[in-house]
Amino acid sequence: MEIVSWQFATFSACVLFIYYFLTLRAQKVWLLIASYIFYLSWGLPFAAILFCVTALNFFISRRLGNHHARRRLVLWVAITGNISLLFFFKFATSDYGPRLVQLLNSPTAFITQFLLPIGLAFYTLQAISYLIDVYNGQMQAASSFVDFALYMSYFPKLIAGPIERARNFLPKLAKPRMVTNETLSRSFTLIIIGLIRKMVIADVLPRMISIDHIWAGINSRYATAELALWLMVYAFTLYNDFAGYTSIVRGVSGLFGIELSPNFQQPFFARSFTEFWNRWHISLSHWLRDYIYFPFSRALLRRSEGQRNLINTVLPPLITMMASGLWHGFSVSMLVWGGLHGLYQVVERIPFVARMIAQPDEQPRWRQAILMLIVFLLTMVAWVPFALKSLQGNAGALAFWNALILTPHWGFSNLWFLVVLFPFALSLWIDAMQYRARNETVFTSWSPAAQGVLLALAIVALFFFGITSQMKGFVYQGF
């Protein structure tokens, strides 16, 4: 059941209708049942894996809660178990799995029958953060299996996040939930913004310039400007696809009176890479920061007795971002993508550069604009291996970088490609409105007349671009 589908809308409406009549405890049970029904629509084995992961982590967390000598060992075994599961599925479903099996002279049928359980990469991280938080004493182990199972499987966030922390999510389940006019208004605004991002921008952009057209003529027909434009199309598509998904599911969750964490805050307005990762896929970035970057930095600092040195500066961002790359996909190109972002952050820590970008808010406007542009352009360069998912070959990142940067060919074969500027402008306009007001549902503060006109325009846009176009799944469901 795709999120942008009539089935999901009907399913959510039915779940909501019953939900509103239930008591607090019954609501949780009902949401858990609904979440598993939703997940079963993706496949029985997926639901079975989720249940097993949930049960194991719940019982392990109970062990972690009790003070005993082997807590640390239990934690590491549990973390290794979770990561191994994720690693196994990522590996089996990558290009390398069948290749390795072939090298071992084993039949590949076994490995090729595996499908990556949708949402596994998201709920595994939730489980790990929960275990670590319990171990560190930042929260009590959940006493209710229903609460913990709902934390792991809550259907609005199940397939692609946001990656919630148990210490934030579980208390929300304990409190009585209330849905007021304001909640409804905010939730529907988020849903409409999400639908516009997904159906009017993310689904439309790739149809304006397709990668097939760009690649068909690389090195000859297609010009550097067109390659750059396609790269921007990819970035805006990915951003609006994922931000659209997050907005929709947060809106849907809001209707249940449960607020989910934001995942995006106008990332293209970032003036440094550190800021970029505080604005792009925030729940993952913060997870990586809290559970890889900080512990790793602290460990290195302890080794060097508190003295900052090259290793302390270089390794933590590099390792963290490469881990992020591997989380996105088990391939060299994803490692390169992560490595590039790690490298950007390392450069940002060079004192001369760091002085330039420290406290961006205090910089003159022109310098902020230049920094924004630099971050945007370098991020574009890094998207190449992410988008093409391979480094070598005619359709690889190296060929693309070569055509884009090293052997530029000026000219523009098709001025119609500039039509992509309209969705770009729409995406940036929504971002600018939210950025200026520091409020993602800024439109609800407009006058009723302005809101009405905007609603009408949104309906027209969705009718034009959405109603009969093929509904596509979200990109991040694939991770």
Partner 1 sequence: MRQLIRFETLKLTLPSGRIFGWALASLLILAITGEIVLRIESMQSLLLPPSYGSSSVEFGIKLAKINSFVKQEGGVDCIFIGSSITDADVDPDVFRAAYKQFTHQDIACFNFSLAGLPPSSARMVATYLVQTYQPKTIVYGVSAGEFLKIFNQRETYSTSWLYYSLGVFSLEGWLYDTSYVYRYVPTLRYFYESDYRTLADAFSKRISSSGFDRSTVIAQIAIESPVSRDDYQMDAESFSGYRDLVDLNSANTRIVIVESPVHPNFLPRYVKGGKGVYESLFIEPISGYARSRGVPVWRTQSVLDAALPPNGWSDPTHLNVEGAKVFSEWLAKQYASLTP
User: Which of 31, 204, 323, 335 contacts partner 1 by CB under 8 A?
Assistant: 204
Residue 413 DSSP code:
S
7 binds partner 1 (CB under 8 A): no
User: Which of 94, 144, 261, 451 contacts partner 1 by CB under 8 A?
Assistant: 451
22 binds partner 1 (CB under 8 A): yes
Rounded distance, CA 276 to CA 269, Å? 8
Which residues in 117-176 contact partner 1 (CB under 8 A)?
176
Per-residue binder mask for partner 1 (CB under 8 A), 387-416, x = binder: ---------------------------x-x
Structure tokens at 227: 């390659």
Structure tokens at 462: 């969705």
Least distance in Å: CB of 20 to partner 1?
5
Which residues in 25-84 contact partner 1 (CB under 8 A)?
26-27
User: Which of 177, 221, 289, 472 contacts partner 1 by CB under 8 A?
Assistant: 177
Find the part of the chain contacting partner 1 (CB under 8 A) among 15-23, 50-58, 140-148, 399-407.
15-23
Structure tokens at 438: 């520091």
Closest CA to 189 of 260, 250, 241: 250
Rounded distance, CA 89 to CA 67, Å? 33
CA 204 to chain centre: 20
459 binds partner 1 (CB under 8 A): yes
Q: How many CB atoms lie within 10 A of CB 137?
A: 10
User: Which of 184, 358, 369, 437 contacts partner 1 by CB under 8 A?
Assistant: 184
> What is the Cα Rg of the chain in Å?
23
Find the part of the chain contacting partner 1 (CB under 8 A) among 19-27, 32-40, 227-235, 328-336.
19-27
Structure tokens at 474: 């979200």
Amino acid (1-letter code) at residue 407:
T
HSE on the CB side for 413, CA within 13 Å? 15
20 binds partner 1 (CB under 8 A): yes
User: Which of 162, 257, 267, 339 contacts partner 1 by CB under 8 A?
Assistant: 257
Least distance in Å: CB of 181 to partner 1?
6
Rounded distance, CA 234 to CA 232, Å? 5
469 binds partner 1 (CB under 8 A): yes
If the CB atoms of residues 184 and 373 are measured against partner 1, the closer one turns out to be 184
If the CB atoms of residues 314 and 454 are measured against partner 1, the closer one turns out to be 454
300 touches 315 (CB < 8 A): yes
421 binds partner 1 (CB under 8 A): no
Q: Which are the contacts of 234, defined by CB distance < 8 A and separation ≥ 6?
A: 211, 383, 387
Least distance in Å: CB of 21 to partner 1?
5
Q: ω before 262 within 30° of 0 (cis)?
A: no
Least distance in Å: CB of 255 to partner 1?
10
DSSP code string of 133-161? HHHTTSSPPPS-HHHHHHHHH-HHHHTT-
Amino acid (1-letter code) at residue 199:
M
Catalog residues that contact partner 1 under the rule CB under 8 A: 19-23, 26-27, 176-181, 184, 204, 207-210, 213, 257, 414, 416-417, 419, 422, 448-449, 451-453, 455-457, 459-460, 463-465, 468-469
